[in-house]
Amino acid sequence: MLRISRDKVCYELSPHLEPVAYVDPGERVVLETHDSRTGRLQRPEDVLTSVPEPKNGNPMVNPATGPLYIRGAEPGDTLTVDILDIKLGSQGYLLAKQGVGLLGDTVRETTAWIIPVSEGQARFSDRISLPVRPMIGVIGTAPAGTPVPTMHAGDTGGNMDNARITTGTRVFLPVQVPGALLALGDVHGMMGDGELNGTALEMPAEVLIEVGLIKGQRTALPYLETADLMITTGYGDDFLAAARRAVREMAERLIAAHNLTWEEAGMLLSAAGDLRICQSYGGQEIIVRLEFPKLPRTGE
Ligand code: CA
Ligand code: CA
C-beta separation of 219 from 174 below 8 A: yes
User: What is the pLDDT, as a whole number, of residue 125?
Assistant: 97
Percentage of the chain beyond pLDDT 70 is 98
Residue 165 Cα, ligand 2 centroid: separation in angstroms? Answer: 13
In terms of pLDDT, which residue wins out, 73 or 295?
73
Q: What is the pLDDT of residues 209-221, one digit of tens each?
A: 999 999 999 999 9
Residue 37 Cα, ligand 2 centroid: separation in angstroms? Answer: 9
Instruction: Please count the residues of the chain.
Output: 300
List CB-based neighbours of ion ligand 2 within 5 Å.
36, 137, 186, 200, 202
Residue 124 Cα, ligand 1 centroid: separation in angstroms? Answer: 20
Q: What confidence category does residue 140 fall into, taking pLDDT thresholds of 50, 70 and 90?
A: very high
Residue 186 Cα, ligand 2 centroid: separation in angstroms? Answer: 5
Peptide bond into 67 cis (omega under 30): yes
In terms of pLDDT, which residue wins out, 51 or 17?
17
3-state secondary structure 18-70: CCCEEECCCCEEEEEECCCCCCCCCCHHHCCCCCCCCECCECCCCCEEEEEEE
**pLDDT of 95 above 60:** yes
C-alpha–C-alpha distance, residues 64 and 300, integer Å = 39
User: What is the pLDDT, as a whole number, of residue 32?
Assistant: 98
**pLDDT of 37 above 80:** yes
Helix (H) or strand (E) holding 258: helix 239-258
User: What is the pLDDT, as a whole number, of residue 113?
Assistant: 98
User: What is the pLDDT, as a whole number, of residue 129?
Assistant: 98
Residue 105 Cα, ligand 2 centroid: separation in angstroms? Answer: 21
Q: What confidence category does residue 285 fall into, taking pLDDT thresholds of 50, 70 and 90?
A: confident
Q: Residue 109: CB partners within 8 Å, gap ≥ 6?
A: 98
Q: What is the pLDDT of residues 259-275, one digit of tens each?
A: 999 999 999 999 999 99
Residue 200 Cα, ligand 1 centroid: separation in angstroms? Answer: 7
Amino acid letter, residue 268: L
Residue 18 Cα, ligand 1 centroid: separation in angstroms? Answer: 23
Residue 63 Cα, ligand 2 centroid: separation in angstroms? Answer: 10
Residue 191 Cα, ligand 2 centroid: separation in angstroms? Answer: 8
**Which of 114, 100, 116 has its CA nearest to residue 50?**
114
**pLDDT of 282 above 70:** no
Peptide bond into 59 cis (omega under 30): no
Residue 160 Cα, ligand 1 centroid: separation in angstroms? Answer: 7
Residue 62 Cα, ligand 2 centroid: separation in angstroms? Answer: 7
C-alpha–C-alpha distance, residues 203 and 266, integer Å = 39
Residue 65 Cα, ligand 2 centroid: separation in angstroms? Answer: 14
Q: What confidence category does residue 56 fall into, taking pLDDT thresholds of 50, 70 and 90?
A: confident
Q: Which ligand is nearest to the CA of 149?
A: 1
Contacts 24+ apart (CB under 8 A), 267-276: 273/247, 275/243, 275/246, 275/247, 276/193
**pLDDT of 94 above 80:** yes
pTM above 0.75, yes or no: yes
**pLDDT of 195 above 60:** yes
C-alpha–C-alpha distance, residues 142 and 70, integer Å = 12
C-alpha–C-alpha distance, residues 297 and 244, integer Å = 24
**pLDDT of 298 above 70:** no
C-alpha–C-alpha distance, residues 160 and 57, integer Å = 20
User: What is the pLDDT, as a whole number, of residue 57?
Assistant: 81
Residue 213 Cα, ligand 1 centroid: separation in angstroms? Answer: 26
**pLDDT of 234 above 90:** yes
